[in-house]
Structure 1
Amino acid sequence: MQSVIKDLPVSAGVYQYFDTNGKLLYVGKAKNLKNRVKSYWRFSPEFRPNPTQSSRIIKMLYEASRLEYIVVETEEDALILENSLIKQLKPKYNILLRDDKTYPYIYIDESVAYPRFEITRKVIKGKNITYYGPFPTGGKALLDALYEVYPLVQKKSCLKEGKACLFYQIKKCLAPCEGKVSPEAYGEIVTQAKTSIVKRKDLLSALEEKMTNLAMQERYEEAAAMRDSINAISSLTISSNIDFANAMDLDIFAILNGDEKGVIVKLFMRGGKIISSSYSYFRHTHIFDENEAYKQALLEFYTIDTPNISKQILTAHTFEDSEQVAHSLSARFNKKIEILTPQRGPKAKLISLALQNCEELLRKTQSDTLMEQKIADLFDLSVIPYRVETFDNSHLMGAATVGGMVVWDENKWDKTAYRRYILHERDEYGQMKEMLSRRIEKFKEEPAPDLWILDGGQANLNLAKKLLKEAHVNLDVIAIAKEKLDAKAHRAKGAAKDILYTSHGVLELKANDKRLHWIQRQRDEAHRYAITYHQNKKRKEDTQISLLNKKGIGKATLKKLIDYFGTFEAIENASYEEIEKVTNKKISNIIKNYNP
Structure 2
Amino acid sequence: MTLKEKIQQLPDKPGIYQYFDKNGHLLYVGKAKNLANRVKSYWQFTPELCASSQLSLRIKKMINQTVSMNYIIVNSEHDALILENSLIKQLGPKYNILLRDDKTYPYIYIDNSQDYPRFDITRKIIRSKDITYYGPYSVGARDILSSIYDICKLVQKKACLKSKKLCLYYQIDKCLGPCELPVSKERYAQEVNLATSLIKNKKLLLSKLQEKMEFYAEELRFEEAAQLRDTMERIERSHIKSEIDFATNENYDIFAIESSQTRAVVVKIFMRHGKIISSTHEYINLNEGLDTNELYSRALLGFYKDEKPPIVVPLLIGEDFEDKELIQNYLTNIFEQKAQIIIPQRGKKKDLIALAKLNATELLKRDKETLNTKILQEVQELCQLQKLPNRVEVFDNSHMSGVATVGAMIVYENGKFDKKSYRTYHLDARDEYGQMRETLTKRVESFSKSSPPDLWILDGGATLLKLAVDILQSNGINLDVIAISKEKVDAKAHRAKGKAQDIIYTRDEVFRLKTSDKRLQWIQNLRDEAHRAAITFHKKTKLKLDQESKLLSLHGISPAKIQKLLNHYGTFEALKNVTFDDISSLLNTKDAKTIKNFYK
Question: Structure 2-normalised TM-score?
Answer: 0.94
From 78, 86, 101, the equivalent of 1:76 is: 78
User: What's 1:500 paired with?
Assistant: 504
Q: CA distance change for structure 1 residues 240 and 472 in 2, over 3 Å: closer, same or farther?
A: same
SS in 1 for 2:137: coil
TM-fit CA distance, 1:32: 1.0
TM-fit CA distance, 1:8: 1.6
User: What's 1:104 paired with?
Assistant: 106
Maintained 8 Å contact 1:389/1:452: yes
User: What's 2:235 paired with?
Assistant: 233
Maintained 8 Å contact 2:115/2:185: yes
TM-fit CA distance, 1:212: 0.4
SS in 2 for 1:440: helix
After superposition, give the CA deviation of every residue in 1:223-282 in whole Å (9 maximum; x if it has no partner): 011111122222332122224342211100111222332211111011111111111212
TM-fit CA distance, 1:360: 0.5
User: What's 2:201 paired with?
Assistant: 199
Q: Aligned equivalents of 1:561 and 1:228: distance in 2?
A: 49
- Give the aligned residue type for 1:83: N
Q: CA distance change for structure 1 residues 306 and 210 in 2, over 3 Å: closer, same or farther?
A: farther
TM-fit CA distance, 1:540: 4.0
SS in 2 for 1:67: strand
TM-fit CA distance, 1:344: 1.6
* Structure 2: unaligned runs, 5 residues or longer: none
2:470 is equivalent to residue 466 of structure 1: yes
Q: CA distance change for structure 1 residues 553 and 219 in 2, over 3 Å: closer, same or farther?
A: closer
2:409 is equivalent to residue 405 of structure 1: yes
- Give the aligned residue type for 1:488: K
After superposition, give the CA deviation of every residue in 1:20-52 in whole Å (9 maximum; x if it has no partner): 211111000011111111111122232222111
Q: CA distance change for structure 1 residues 270 and 475 in 2, over 3 Å: closer, same or farther?
A: same
After superposition, give the CA deviation of every residue in 1:350-401 in whole Å (9 maximum; x if it has no partner): 1011000011011111123334344333323222222211111122333332
Maintained 8 Å contact 1:96/1:284: no
Identity of aligned residues (%): 52
User: What's 1:118 paired with?
Assistant: 120
Q: Aligned equivalents of 2:424 and 2:552: distance in 1?
A: 26
Task: Answer with 271-280 or 354-363: which moved more.
Answer: 271-280
TM-fit CA distance, 1:571: 2.3
Task: Answer with 359-368 or 586-595: which moved more.
Answer: 586-595
TM-fit CA distance, 1:560: 5.9
- Give the aligned residue type for 2:492: K
- Give the aligned residue type for 2:425: Y
TM-fit CA distance, 1:126: 1.6
Q: Aligned equivalents of 1:178 and 1:531: distance in 2?
A: 52
User: What's 2:292 paired with?
Assistant: 290
Alignment of 1:243-254 (within 5 A): 243-254=245-256
Alignment of 1:364-443 (within 5 A): 364-368=366-370, 369-370=372-373, 371-443=375-447
User: What's 1:456 paired with?
Assistant: 460
2:487 is equivalent to residue 487 of structure 1: no
Q: Aligned equivalents of 1:111 and 1:586: distance in 2?
A: 55
TM-fit CA distance, 1:115: 0.8
Q: CA distance change for structure 1 residues 186 and 304 in 2, over 3 Å: closer, same or farther?
A: farther
2:541 is equivalent to residue 537 of structure 1: yes
Maintained 8 Å contact 1:386/1:410: yes
* Structure 1: unaligned runs, 5 residues or longer: none
User: What's 1:65 paired with?
Assistant: 67
Q: Aligned equivalents of 1:148 and 1:517: distance in 2?
A: 48
Q: Aligned equivalents of 2:354 and 2:53: distance in 1?
A: 34
Maintained 8 Å contact 1:284/1:383: no
SS in 2 for 1:131: strand
RMSD of the TM alignment (CA)? 2.3
User: What's 1:161 paired with?
Assistant: 163
Maintained 8 Å contact 2:245/2:274: yes
Maintained 8 Å contact 1:262/1:285: no
Q: CA distance change for structure 1 residues 285 and 360 in 2, over 3 Å: closer, same or farther?
A: farther
After superposition, give the CA deviation of every residue in 1:378-437 in whole Å (9 maximum; x if it has no partner): 323222222211111122333332211111222222222222222222321222112111
Q: Aligned equivalents of 1:383 and 1:232: distance in 2?
A: 34
Q: CA distance change for structure 1 residues 346 and 542 in 2, over 3 Å: closer, same or farther?
A: closer
Q: CA distance change for structure 1 residues 147 and 594 in 2, over 3 Å: closer, same or farther?
A: closer
Q: CA distance change for structure 1 residues 593 and 29 in 2, over 3 Å: closer, same or farther?
A: closer
Question: Structure 1-normalised TM-score?
Answer: 0.94
TM-fit CA distance, 1:577: 2.4
Count, aligned residues:
594
Q: CA distance change for structure 1 residues 486 and 495 in 2, over 3 Å: closer, same or farther?
A: closer
Maintained 8 Å contact 2:29/2:96: yes
TM-fit CA distance, 1:146: 1.0
Q: Aligned equivalents of 1:32 and 1:113: distance in 2?
A: 57
Maintained 8 Å contact 1:106/1:120: yes
Q: CA distance change for structure 1 residues 513 and 552 in 2, over 3 Å: closer, same or farther?
A: same
User: What's 2:352 paired with?
Assistant: 350
Q: Aligned equivalents of 2:236 and 2:553: distance in 1?
A: 59
User: What's 2:323 paired with?
Assistant: 321
Q: Aligned equivalents of 1:594 and 1:152: distance in 2?
A: 42
Maintained 8 Å contact 2:137/2:278: yes
User: What's 1:150 paired with?
Assistant: 152
From 43, 56, 76, the equivalent of 1:54 is: 56
User: What's 1:588 paired with?
Assistant: 592
Maintained 8 Å contact 1:392/1:530: yes
From 23, 26, 45, the equivalent of 1:43 is: 45
